[in-house]
Amino acid sequence: MFAVLESQVLAPNLHMLTLEAPDVARQAQAGQFVILRAEEDGERIPLSLADWDAAKGIITVVIVNVGKTTDRLTRLKAGQAVPTVAGPLGRPLKIEPVKAVCLVGGCYGVGSIYPLARAYRRQGSRVLIVLEGKSGFAFYWEEKLRSIADKIVYITRDGTRGARGHIDLLPRAIEASGELVERVIANGCNHLLSEVCTATQPLGLPTQVCLNTLMIDGTGMCGVCRVTVGGQMKFACVDGPYFDGHAVDWQELFQRRQSYLREEVQSLRSSAGMEECL
């Protein structure tokens, strides 16, 4: 069993869990993920690593509550435990030397860009962080991100923080920052990632995205997480989770991601005591 050390609400529908997982913490690298289970016979949930401390043997993940299992994970309290923390999984992100990198985060991606910013800062790159959200209340870990970012830019759809609009403002934000950005990396929902790629392609900016795919085992055996990148079939769990965003077949990914939407909604309502719904 893996002890829950901290459980905290970060923003509406976003939750942070800090777990005791020394083997994972010792081997974790920027860009990797773990798989959690809330109970012995429960569903396996892939979650990006948002932070870790090898000396203390702890890891941190940010969870968006979308179904029965994530709901149970967010209800855990310090002192309780989970039966499974498998990882670290996936390929670490290749931290290439660049003058400046732009890291885009939205929703749970605000947390998972932190290890990337830390890694780029350590190797000498300047770090521009662009945070996108529905409103100002969607942001968290701001002091933590400021400690390693050279600049942070906010974009909100309601205009309550930073520029008003959506991520199509990204090119303008990069230009206004004055940073010599050579690479863009985006973490968050698939819609955000797709829009980031649409915004950066005309600029010729290399763009990597952390794909949010359906996943079961996380070791490349089930094939559920397959995606098409550059006309070739890839598995997000072992070939990714980071891919060239301009080469991703986004239409296929969106269609596959909707496969179990009805079941996700049904299980979430069921876990809230609404068994009769749907």
pTM over 0.75: yes
pLDDT classification of 277: cutoffs 50, 70, 90? very low
Of 222, 263, 258, 213, give the one whose Cα is nearest residue 240: 213
Q: Which helix (H) or strand (E) holds 142?
A: helix 142-146
Tens of pLDDT along 67-87?
788 888 999 999 999 999 998
Give yes or no for residue 276 having a pLDDT over 80.
Answer: no
Q: Report cis status (omega within 30 of 0) of the bond before 171.
A: no
Question: Using alpha carbons only, what angle is made at residue 251 by residues 247 and 253, rounded to the nearest 5 degrees?
Answer: 80
The rounded distance, in Å, linking the Cα atoms of 243 and 213 is: 12
pLDDT of residue 242: 95
Residue with tokens 């403002």: 169
Based on its alpha-carbon atoms, the radius of gyration of the chain, rounded to whole angstroms, reads 18
The rounded distance, in Å, linking the Cα atoms of 113 and 71 is: 23
User: Do 31 and 93 contact (CB within 8 A), yes or no?
Assistant: yes
The rounded distance, in Å, linking the Cα atoms of 154 and 67 is: 28
The conformational region for residue 177 under phi > 0 = left, psi -120 to 50 = alpha, else beta, is: alpha
The rounded distance, in Å, linking the Cα atoms of 196 and 183 is: 12
H-type alpha helices, 76-136: 109-112, 114-122
Tens of pLDDT along 240-262?
899 999 999 989 988 887 765 66
The rounded distance, in Å, linking the Cα atoms of 131 and 188 is: 10
DSSP character for 148?
A: T
Give phi and psi for 249, each to the nearest 5: -85, 90
Give yes or no for residue 179 having a pLDDT over 60.
Answer: yes
Tens of pLDDT along 108-167?
999 999 999 999 999 999 999 999 999 999 999 999 999 999 999 999 999 999 999 999
Tens of pLDDT along 126-142?
999 999 999 999 999 99
